[in-house]
């Protein structure tokens, strides 16, 4: 049986890739995928712990996260589409109206 | 029934106020006079058929209209109280008011603001009747403020004239100072007695009964009663134009003459005397307050009388005369002769309303000329006005057997023989009052001589009418501005004639016992007026206040026998003083006639002509400093520098701070993500740190 620590290590790696991607990437789509990656890294942790502890609550959480992620994907993609229509770009740094 | 006495003029005011613009002059005048007429009719009916038949000690009729304020044990109702005091007041208010309304329909003829004038006048009648019929201090205050408002509106009636507006503001602001005293007195009454009602309500005796029952030895009684009485007197000085708040009344003459007659001579200005008489149970508990009242009254009387000597505006002479006569009334209240004060209120209402209306008739006939230096010889042009004004003149001068003679003589005698003040004060105040009587006769004679006798002094310089007088804007009298003086129409001289008759016979309701009368007036009022404790004696005052039941009659009886005892004792002296005051009146008339018949334009001392510079003194000591502090300190320093500085400073601080903070907003989404990450790491690190410890 694969020990718990392997799952956690994999999850940490995935999460870090997501974080770094969000910070260094400029393409909105990629950025978006990085966010999904982070969510799934957390999901993996939850499932692993759930299995390890024999408690189903963790897996229940995963369902909630997936539902939220689905909603977030719908909203996020809508924003991306409207951003592209207005700006003809997917570069996140060009959407900077909030700056002074 | 009582409420309709009060409400009838209000209905008139509402009709004229809302629809008057579309009604004709005749109809407006009819509505206004009829509403007051209804009120007068009801007042006389109630007085003679309901109040008089009651037994002497129980002459109280109350009527609950509706409960107005009820909070905790505080209760103020719209409820009316008719007793001998308010009964006398409603009689002369509605009676004289009706006459003046009729007169005004003639006097205001052709004025563009006709409906406005009668709306205000009716509203005034409503407020004045509310004032005198109120059964508690708060409702009285409603009327008190209401008449002040109407006075303001009517003084400033000629809205196009600057001085009318100024005079209106002056009257209102001066009265506010007095009202402040009244309000504090009212609060003090409530905290002391737990009620502000003049009649017992819900088992709680009225504050007048409670005050009357107080033991004079109680140390706190003296202080609190003095406080209440003096504060009420502050209110009275404002409304009744006593020193130091009298300055508004002479200026109030900028209003139309019927207003001067109704509000500023006969009714409103005597509200202070009414208040004193109504609260006499409190006032007599404080010898200090009574002394103050007597001294201020006497001082005002002589002060205003001397000013009246040198005025050249016919209405100003009468205005100062009014101030002076009001001083007499307060002198009477102060020496404990409150019934004599009220008696003088009534006779004064007759002859002063007469004199004012007569002066209005003169002004009308002279085409808005008010300066008596440009009159003279009018008696052949205006015989009726002259004859009626003669009656008023002789009455105020104290001509024997006319109304003013009886009331003034009563006050003079009561002042001399007072027991309410320390020994000797009465004699001193008598000298002042007698001197005032002499001066009164002189200046009234001067006014009459300059107006009606001698050569006529008009016709040559008619160019200066423009800045004088009740300029009737849009004056369309058919005879232009340069005709001879003419007699006024019947609608104006009939009220004059009625008032003249009243001025002549009005005094017979109160002929003192020493002159063979039985002083009905005093005996009628006696049950509602508290009796004075002679100075230095700590006897229990007679609780003679408004209350129901037989206890009243029982307590009033010994007091009146006591009064009779006094009267018999001093009959000789009293008659002697009557002779003295008659002589003073004749001396005054003779002096006035001798001086001014010979030289009607005799110049008077500048000091008197300029009213002792009181207005200038107020200007430099009160108004200027106030203005300077307001402008140079409150506005330019406190408001601009401090208040605005604090507000603007706060705004600038936040603007500066946010100028720094705004740099954190780069607008790059990835920056924000990085900040969130750092925050998350810090929090996780912190919890990790806590866990490892």
pLDDT for position B218: 66
Judged against a pLDDT cut of 50, whether residue B468 lies above it is answered with no
Chain B hits for A98, Cβ within 8 Å: 665, 667
- Count of CB atoms situated within 10 Å of the CB of B132: 25
pLDDT for position B645: 93
Local structure of residue B611 (DSSP, 8 states)? G
**Cβ burial B227-262 (10 Å sphere, 16+ → b, else e):** bbbbbbbbbbbbbbbbbbbbbbbbbbbbbbbbbbbb
Distance separating alpha carbons of residues B208 and B220, to the nearest angstrom: 17
For residue B27, how many C-alpha atoms fall within 13 Å in the half-sphere facing its CB? 9
B661 contacts chain A (CB < 8 A): no
Report CA torsion sign: A62, A64, A69, A70: positive
Q: Do B673 and A23 touch (CB under 8 A)?
A: yes
Tokens 């007429």 found at? B37
B673 contacts chain A (CB < 8 A): yes
pLDDT band at B220 (very low <50, low <70, confident <90, very high): low
Q: Do B668 and A22 touch (CB under 8 A)?
A: no
pLDDT for position A2: 86
pLDDT for position B556: 41
Distance separating alpha carbons of residues A33 and B32, to the nearest angstrom: 89
Q: Do A22 and B673 touch (CB under 8 A)?
A: yes
Distance separating alpha carbons of residues B492 and B104, to the nearest angstrom: 7
Chain A residue with Cα closest to B677: A19
Contacts of B593 (CB under 8 A, 6+ apart): B445, B449
Mean pLDDT of B132-157: 94
Chain A residue with Cα closest to B661: A100
Q: Do B665 and A95 touch (CB under 8 A)?
A: no
Chain B hits for A22, Cβ within 8 Å: 670, 673, 677
SS3 call for B673: helix
Mean pLDDT of B335-339: 91
Question: CA of B688 to nearest chain A CA: how many angstroms apart?
Answer: 16
pTM value surpassing 0.95: no
Contacts of A27 (CB under 8 A, 6+ apart): A90, A91, A92
Question: What's the full length of chain A, in residues?
Answer: 100
pLDDT for position B374: 87
Chain A residue with Cα closest to B659: A100
Highest average pLDDT, of B211-220, B438-447, B569-578, comes from B438-447
pLDDT higher at B495 or B665: B495
pLDDT band at B320 (very low <50, low <70, confident <90, very high): very high
Q: With pLDDT > 90 as the criterion, what percentage of chain B qualifies?
A: 57
What's the CATH number for A4-94?
1.10.287.3510
Dihedral (C-alpha) B458, B464, B466, B470: value to the nearest 10 degrees? Answer: -50
A1 contacts chain B (CB < 8 A): no
Distances (CA, A) of B328 to A42, B264, B305, B430, B433: 100, 16, 11, 11, 7
Write out pLDDT tens, residues B436-464.
Answer: 999 999 999 999 999 998 888 886 544 44
- ipTM comes to 0.82
Radius of gyration for chain B, computed over Cα atoms and rounded to the nearest angstrom: 30
pLDDT band at B527 (very low <50, low <70, confident <90, very high): confident
Segment among A43-52, B18-27, B83-92, B599-608 with least mean pLDDT: B599-608
Segment among A34-38, B71-75, B303-307, B561-565 with least mean pLDDT: B561-565
B201: phi then psi, degrees, rounded to nearest 5: -140, 135
Question: CA of B677 to nearest chain A CA: how many angstroms apart?
Answer: 8
pLDDT for position B509: 86
Nearest to B446 by CA among B299, B606, B362, B321: B321
Q: Which of A42, A76, A93 to mutate to test the interface with B (most CBs of B within 10 A)?
A: A93
- Count of CB atoms situated within 10 Å of the CB of B492: 25
Does a cis peptide bond (omega within 30 degrees of 0) precede residue B244? yes
Distances (CA, A) of B488 to B32, B95, B350, B362, B366: 21, 21, 20, 8, 10
pLDDT for position B510: 83
pLDDT for position B609: 84
A100 contacts chain B (CB < 8 A): yes
pLDDT for position A10: 95
Tokens 């759930």 found at? A50
A17 contacts chain B (CB < 8 A): no
- Count of CB atoms situated within 10 Å of the CB of B274: 25
pLDDT for position B394: 93
Distance separating alpha carbons of residues B540 and B214, to the nearest angstrom: 8
Write out pLDDT tens, residues B587-629.
Answer: 999 999 998 888 888 888 888 888 889 889 998 998 899 999 9
Q: Do A22 and B662 touch (CB under 8 A)?
A: no
Q: Which of A15, A21, A98 to mutate to test the interface with B (most CBs of B within 10 A)?
A: A98
Write out pLDDT tens, residues B97-126.
Answer: 999 999 999 999 888 889 999 999 999 999
Q: Do A96 and B673 touch (CB under 8 A)?
A: no
B460 contacts chain A (CB < 8 A): no
Segment among B277-291, B429-443, B555-569 with least mean pLDDT: B555-569
Q: From the list B665, B668, B677, which residue is nearest A19 (CB)?
A: B677
Q: With pLDDT > 70 as the criterion, what percentage of chain B qualifies?
A: 90
Contacts of B566 (CB under 8 A, 6+ apart): B417
Q: Where are the domains of chain A?
A: 4-94
Distance separating alpha carbons of residues B39 and B689, to the nearest angstrom: 92
B659 contacts chain A (CB < 8 A): no
């Amino acid at each position: 049986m694969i020990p718990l620590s392997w799952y956690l290590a994999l999850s940490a790696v995935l999460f870090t890739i997501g974080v770094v991607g969000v910070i260094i990437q400029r393409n909105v789509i990629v950025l978006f995928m990085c966010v999904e990656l982070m969510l799934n890294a957390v999901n993996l942790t939850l499932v692993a712990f759930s299995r390890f502890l024999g408690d189903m609550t963790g897996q229940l959480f995963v369902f909630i996260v997936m539902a939220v992620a689905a909603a977030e994907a719908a909203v996020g993609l809508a924003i991306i589409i409207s951003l592209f229509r207005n700006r003809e770009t997917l570069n996140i740094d060009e959407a900077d109206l909030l700056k002074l | 029934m009582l409420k309709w006495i009060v409400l009838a003029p209000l209905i008139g005011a509402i009709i004229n106020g809302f629809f008057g613009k579309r009604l004709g002059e005749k109809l407006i005048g009819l509505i206004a006079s009829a509403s007051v007429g209804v009120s007068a009719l009801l007042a006389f009916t109630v007085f003679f058929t309901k109040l008089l038949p009651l037994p002497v000690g129980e002459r109280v009729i109350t009527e609950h209209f509706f409960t107005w304020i009820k909070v905790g044990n505080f209760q103020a109702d719209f409820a009316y109280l008719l007793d001998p005091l308010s009964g006398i007041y409603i009689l002369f208010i509605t009676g004289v008011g009706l006459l003046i309304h009729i007169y005004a329909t003639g006097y205001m003829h052709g004025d563009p603001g006709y409906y406005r004038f009668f709306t205000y006048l009716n509203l005034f009648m409503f407020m004045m009747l509310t004032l005198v019929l109120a059964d508690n201090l708060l409702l009285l205050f409603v009327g008190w403020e209401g008449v002040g408002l109407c006075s303001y509106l009517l003084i400033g009636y000629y809205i196009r004239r600057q001085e009318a507006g100024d005079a209106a503001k002056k009257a209102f602001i001066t009265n506010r100072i007095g009202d402040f005293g009244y309000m504090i007195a009212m609060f003090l009454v409530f905290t002391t007695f737990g009620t502000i009602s003049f009649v017992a309500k819900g088992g709680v005796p009225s504050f007048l009964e409670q005050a009357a029952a107080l033991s004079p030895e109680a140390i706190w009684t003296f202080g609190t009663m003095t406080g209440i009485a003096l504060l009420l007197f502050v209110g009275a000085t404002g409304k009744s134009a006593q020193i130091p708040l009298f300055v508004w009344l002479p200026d109030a003459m900028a209003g139309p003459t019927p207003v001067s007659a109704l509000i500023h001579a006969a009714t409103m200005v005597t509200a202070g005397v009414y208040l004193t008489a109504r609260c006499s149970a409190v006032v007599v508990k404080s010898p200090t307050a009574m002394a103050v009242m007597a001294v201020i009254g006497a001082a005002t009387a002589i002060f205003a009388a001397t000013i009246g000597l040198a005025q050249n505006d016919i209405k100003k002479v009468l205005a100062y005369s009014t101030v002076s006569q009001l001083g007499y009334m307060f002198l009477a209240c102060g020496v404990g002769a409150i019934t004599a004060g009220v008696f003088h209120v009534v006779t004064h209402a007759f002859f002063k309303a007469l004199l004012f209306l007569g002066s209005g008739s003169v002004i009308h006939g002279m085409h808005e000329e008010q300066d008596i230096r440009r009159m003279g010889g009018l008696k052949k042009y205006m015989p009726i006005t002259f004859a009626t004004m003669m009656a008023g003149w002789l009455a105020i001068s104290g001509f024997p057997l006319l109304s003013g003679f009886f009331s003034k003589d009563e006050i003079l005698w009561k002042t001399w023989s007072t027991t309410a003040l320390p020994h000797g004060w009465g004699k001193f105040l008598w000298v002042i009052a007698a001197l005032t009587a002499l001066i009164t006769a002189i200046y009234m004679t001067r006014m009459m001589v300059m107006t009606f006798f001698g050569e006529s002094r008009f016709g040559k310089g008619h160019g200066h009418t423009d800045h004088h007088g009740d300029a009737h804007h849009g004056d369309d009298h058919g005879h232009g501005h340069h005709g001879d003086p003419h007699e006024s129409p019947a609608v104006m001289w009939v009220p004059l004639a009625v008032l003249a008759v009243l001025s002549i016979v009005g005094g017979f309701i109160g002929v003192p016992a020493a002159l063979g009368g039985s002083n009905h007036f005093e005996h009628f009022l006696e049950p509602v007026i508290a009796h004075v404790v002679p100075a230095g004696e700590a006897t229990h005052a007679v609780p003679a206040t408004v209350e129901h039941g037989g206890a009243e009659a029982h307590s009033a009886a010994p007091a009146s026998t006591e009064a009779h005892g006094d009267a018999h004792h001093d009959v000789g002296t009293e008659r002697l003083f009557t002779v003295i005051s008659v002589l003073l009146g004749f001396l005054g008339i003779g002096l006035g006639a001798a001086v001014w018949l010979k030289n009607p334009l005799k110049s008077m001392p500048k000091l008197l002509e300029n009213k002792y510079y009181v207005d200038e003194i107020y200007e430099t000591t009160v108004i200027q400093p106030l203005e300077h502090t307001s402008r140079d300190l409150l506005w330019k320093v406190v408001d601009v520098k401090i208040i605005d500085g604090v507000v603007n400073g706060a705004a600038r601080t936040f603007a500066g701070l946010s100028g720094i903070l705004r740099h954190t907003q780069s607008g790059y989404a990835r920056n924000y993500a990085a900040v969130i990450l750092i925050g998350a790491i810090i929090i996780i690190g912190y919890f990790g740190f806590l866990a490892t410890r």
